Amino acid sequence: MSEKDNLHDADGNEDLKSKAITTEYTVAENQNTPEDTPSNETTEASDAIKSEATETPKDEEQADQPVEDNTTATANSEDTAANKKDAHVDEIEKSNAEDAEDEGNNERHTLEDKDYHSMTMEQLADEFETLLKNKKVQTIKSHIDEIKTEFNSKFSEILEEKKEEFLSEGGSEIDFFYSSPLKKRFNALYKDYKNNLNAYYKTLETNLKSNLENRLRIIEDIKGLINVEENINTTYKLFKDLQEEWRTAGPIPRDKYNNAWNTYHHHVEIFYDFLHLNRDLRDMDFKHNLDQKLKIIDRAEELAQDDNSNRAFRELQVLHKMWKEDLGPVDKEHREAIWERFSNATKTIHDKRQAYYADVDKAHEANLEKKEAIIAKIEEIAKDELNSHQAWQNKIKVIEGLRTEFFNAGKVPIKVNEATWAKFKAAVRTFNKKKNSFYKGLKKDQYTNLQKKLDLIKIAEEHKDSDDFDTVTPLMKKIQNEWKEIGHVPRKDSDKIWKRFKAACNHYFDKLNAERNAANKGEVEAFEKKSKLLDNLKELSLSGTPEEDLETIKKKTEEWNALGPVPQNKRFIEGKFNKAVDSLFNNLKMDKSEVEMIKFENKLEHLSQPDDTRLLDNEHHFIRKKIDEVRGEINQLENNLQFFSNIDKTNPLVKDVLNNIENHKENLAVWEEKFKKLKELY
């Protein structure tokens, strides 16, 4: 018997009524690898905690221990030799052994792979909850592991930032603690997950042990058939019953799977050799097995053409399981050939799958380059020396954008994942340390500013009820200016201290204004009367007779002057009155020069203030300047006239210049007359 036949074909004959294998194969979903066992209760359950063979077949090392020491030695040695020759088959065997622990589970390979790295902490928690509610707990190990890793990485980054801020504000490291509702929610979900998983493994442990014991008992019963002295048909029937019992015996621990099957095949083969069954019956069994295995090979070769290597691999697992578990041997002349075809199709699918993962690795390498470039940018920004709040806020926004880019850049090769993440965190941590150092100094300045403003509040509150207005008023104005010059204070104190300071200052100035209003009651009354007079003046209509209208304007002016001064802050009303009077003068049917002088004399009455000549001085300088300007313009025009010496004076250009000179001389005469009137008042 060949090595490959003993390993892959050594099964007992099935009777002619055994279930046929059709050419239409349905992909049975592979089973899940359990995650953890409760409290190291069993070796079998703890051994189940391994990485998924279909995900990382090269990383799993499965040491199959022999079920028996004597009778299986040959089979196991042949098994080892075959596995060394056919690594692609070994991968299938390992994956099927892994799935063998829970035959009822068919969800592990159908779960959607998602980019957990790019998800936010909230999204990761939501995804965790969805898996926990809707999927079998034993099917979600790899997904939960990745979700947990990503969540903890993101939370640790936040934790470090909070710790830096806490220490920068003067806190002690031993007193630091930080949590969040989201973290508590995630922890609660993980606790539920572990409890459910432990409960699952307690049940699984019992079932696996019982099934293994049952299968070992079946092997022993088959061994015992060799020495039974009874009718061959009765012995053969017992043998077929034991085979059917084997098929329905249920899942066993993965580390016992291959050796249990090899031992079973070994003793089935021995049974055939010693039983000396009817050759025709055996040939019929061989033919049946050959037909079904050829159908399996045809399907495997079809799968070898499938571009979806993962889907093809999952169905190939099913075909290998059927080849090994459901079918017996074929005639020796076909064994090498059919196994060679099946092995070649398996290798093609294996190679395609390896090429697919090679492409995935290339994509991960490209993602690594992106992430290293992002880290370099963060490191460069962390070198900047910033000295203002706004500058730091701008850089914080840039860093947040780079963080988002980092998480959206995709996965990197597993071998550098931890190192890349550590490098990213280190770059961000360096930036945060400089940021926190700046704001620590800024907060120190703010607390200094707070104390300065509290001192000003104390002064304002001590003097708010003072009656010494001459002394306190300059003081209150001074501390108001100082308040404006002091910089920012901590945000939590800003509104509160401003309200205190404003209340004290308003209290004082309200009292000052009340005192002044009482002292200047007459001026306030004068303002109210002048306001009414101004309203009447705006509605005044002239008669059209110059002498009569002039007298009316004069009386209104005298009435205005008789009302007396108004408060200092209300003197704008004088300017409004002068504009209204000027408007009336402009409507008089009199010589403009005469009207201008009347207006000026009226103006002088307002400019004349006892013991205060500032207004007259200003008017003196103004008129003096106007006289100089008009004289200069006359001289310029007369100089320009010299260019027209050979031109008749009736020329339009010459006439225009002469008229202009005459108008300026008349204007000059008015200004000189005003100047004369002004000098008489000195």
pLDDT of residue 610: 59
Q: What is the pLDDT of residues 356-370, one digit of tens each?
A: 888 888 889 999 999
Residue 410, helix vs strand vs coil: coil
The answer to whether 336 and 296 have CB atoms below 8 angstroms apart is no
Q: What is the pLDDT of residues 405-414, one digit of tens each?
A: 998 888 888 8
Q: What is the pLDDT of residues 588-605, one digit of tens each?
A: 777 777 777 777 777 777
pLDDT of residue 249: 85
Which of the given ranges, 9-13, 132-136, 613-617, 645-649, has the highest pLDDT on average? Answer: 132-136
| CA pair distance 586, 546, nearest whole angstrom | 11
- 62: pLDDT strictly greater than 80: no
Q: Which two tokens stand for residue 625?
A: 């300047």
Q: Where along the chain do its domains lie? A: 3-35+49-359, 442-519, 521-607, 610-682
Q: What is the pLDDT of residues 237-269, one digit of tens each?
A: 888 899 888 888 888 888 888 888 889 888 887
pLDDT confidence bin for 277, thresholds 50/70/90 = low
Per the model's pLDDT, the better-predicted residue between 610 and 331 turns out to be: 331
pLDDT of residue 646: 66
Query: Which amino acid is residue 95, in one-letter code?
Result: S
Q: What is the pLDDT of residues 444-491, one digit of tens each?
A: 788 889 999 999 999 999 999 998 988 999 999 999 999 998 988 888
pLDDT confidence bin for 17, thresholds 50/70/90 = very low
Per the model's pLDDT, the better-predicted residue between 42 and 106 turns out to be: 106
pLDDT of residue 80: 37
- 85: pLDDT strictly greater than 70: no
CA angle 464–468–474, rounded 5-degree value? 75
pLDDT of residue 276: 58
Q: What is the pLDDT of residues 551-587, one digit of tens each?
A: 888 888 888 888 888 887 888 888 888 888 888 877 7
Spatial CB neighbours of 420, under 8 Å, sequence gap ≥ 6: 368, 371, 372, 375, 412
- 311: pLDDT strictly greater than 80: yes
Mean pLDDT of 622-640: 87
pLDDT of residue 44: 33
Instruction: Tell me which residue has tokens 């029937």.
Output: 237
Please give the share of the chain, as a percent, with pLDDT higher than 90: 18
| CA pair distance 469, 394, nearest whole angstrom | 48
Mean pLDDT of 182-186: 92
| CA pair distance 271, 239, nearest whole angstrom | 9
Per the model's pLDDT, the better-predicted residue between 109 and 228 turns out to be: 228
Q: What is the pLDDT of residues 278-302, one digit of tens each?
A: 566 667 778 888 999 999 999 999 9
Rounded to 5 degrees, what are φ and ψ at 609?
A: -125, 130
pLDDT of residue 480: 93
- 387: pLDDT strictly greater than 50: yes
The pTM score is 0.43
| CA pair distance 79, 92, nearest whole angstrom | 14
- 526: pLDDT strictly greater than 50: yes
pLDDT of residue 682: 65
pLDDT of residue 233: 75
Q: What is the 3-state secondary structure (H, E, C) of 493-561?
A: HHHHHHHHHHHHHHHHHHHHHHHHHHHCHHHHHHHHHHHHHHHHHHCCCCCCCHHHHHHHHHHHHHHHH
| CA pair distance 409, 84, nearest whole angstrom | 39
Spatial CB neighbours of 506, under 8 Å, sequence gap ≥ 6: none
Least confident of 145-154, 209-218, 270-279: 270-279
